[in-house]
């Protein structure tokens, strides 16, 4: 996942990928499925070379607030965009949250990731008031987004 994230970050000014700022990537499945009690999905690129050709990722975990889940690590390689794969990954994560009786899903996203903002808003997420600062090497600021979940995904 680190290589995928580094390639995406490279598109943005002053947005370095520094592995020590992402300790969860040392064992992402253990982190999101084990420690965080959620789920992680990896989209593989069948044309890429081994050992693990990551084309996309998404993770979701419960929060400390009952029935609220949070999305993490929503990334898709450039060459796979525009094919519905981001929506497929998001739908998979939201279906997982519904199965866990979640009524709301939230996420945080870098203020520079404008294409991501458009995707989240098109998918029914609403930006919440305020921003948060991460105090990382990139001096990242993030917008929060939330979406209410219905028990039936077609509603």
Distance CA 91, CA 72 (A): 14
Helix (H, G, I), strand (E, B) or coil at 126: strand
Q: For the chain, what is the domain count?
A: 1
Q: Is residue 94 part of a domain?
A: yes
| 51 in any annotated domain | yes
Residue 52 placed within a domain:
yes
Give the global pTM.
0.92
Q: How high is the pLDDT of residue 46?
A: 81
Side-chain half-sphere CA neighbours of 112 within 13 A: 14
Close Cβ partners of 112 (under 8 Å, ≥ 6 residues apart):
12, 13, 15
- Alpha-helical runs (H) found in 58-144: 85-99, 114-122
Q: Name the burial class of residue 71, with classes exposed (0-12), middle (13-18) and buried (19+) by CB atoms within 10 angstroms of its CB.
A: buried
Residue 106 domain-assigned (yes or no): yes
Does some domain include residue 154? no
CATH assignment at residue 25: 3.40.630.30
In-domain check, residue 143: yes
Per-residue pLDDT of the chain (155 residues; tens, 9 = 90+): 999 999 999 999 999 999 999 999 999 999 999 999 999 999 998 887 766 689 999 999 999 999 999 999 999 999 999 999 999 999 999 999 999 999 999 999 999 999 999 999 999 999 999 999 999 999 999 999 999 998 876 54
Is 155 part of a structural domain of the chain?
no
């Amino acid at each position: 996942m680190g290589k995928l994230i580094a390639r995406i970050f490279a598109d943005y000014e002053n947005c370095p990928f520094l592995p020590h700022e992402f300790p969860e990537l040392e064992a992402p499945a253990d982190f999101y499925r084990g420690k965080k009690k959620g789920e992680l999905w990896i989209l593989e690129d069948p044309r890429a070379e081994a050992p693990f050709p990551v084309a996309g990722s998404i993770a979701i975990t419960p929060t400390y607030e009952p029935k609220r889940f949070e999305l993490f690590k929503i990334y898709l390689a450039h060459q796979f965009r525009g094919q519905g794969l981001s929506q497929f990954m998001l739908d998979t994560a939201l279906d997982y949250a519904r199965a866990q009786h979640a009524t709301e899903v939230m996420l945080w996203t870098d203020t520079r990731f404008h294409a991501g903002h458009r995707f989240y808003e098109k998918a029914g997420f609403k930006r919440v008031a305020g921003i948060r600062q991460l105090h990382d090497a990139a001096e990242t600021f993030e917008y929060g987004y939330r979406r209410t979940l219905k028990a039936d995904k077609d509603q």
